Amino acid sequence: MTYQLVIGAVAAYLLGSIPFGLVLSRLGGYGDIRKIGSGNIGATNVLRTGNKALAAATLILDAAKGAVAVLILSYWGVEAASVGAIAASTEIFGWMQRNPNRRLARVLAKPGHELQHRLSTAEPSPEQLEVAQAALDACLELERSS
């Protein structure tokens, strides 16, 4: 299973490295998108060319890269697909952190902030600590036995 995860991860990485904004803007006759607007290759900067269809295609293809990566990894099971989903989520969270003033970033972050506030700001109860200790003990026992 390990070598399949490595192959899947490499394939997902290579897929994710395709700069659709750059490729589509060149195919659309706009040249190097990095010399326009913010200099980024994403859909927002492609939109600055004035071509909404090209920007929409960039957005869809960029999102599809993450979905296809998860599908590639799901071939080897739920655990592998989870790795792909985590990788895609990490990219989204990175974008949100780099763009905290964007409305979309705030909308995407709101549920997580609310959950974090409601679930993690209180001290754990003795029952929660007991469950956590039991889970840790079980994991350590599994590790020792394998």
Decide if pLDDT at 51 tops 70: yes
Report pLDDT digits (tens) over 108-122.
888 877 777 777 666
Tell me the domain boundaries of the chain.
2-145
AA letter at 103: R
Contact 122, 116 (CB under 8 A): no
Report pLDDT digits (tens) over 2-19.
777 777 778 777 887 888
Report pLDDT digits (tens) over 54-99.
999 998 998 888 788 778 777 777 776 777 677 677 777 777 778 8
The pLDDT, as a whole number, for residue 76 is: 73
Q: Which residues contact 5 (CB under 8 A, 6 or more apart)?
A: 73, 76, 80, 83
In the chain, what percentage of residues exceed pLDDT 70? 93
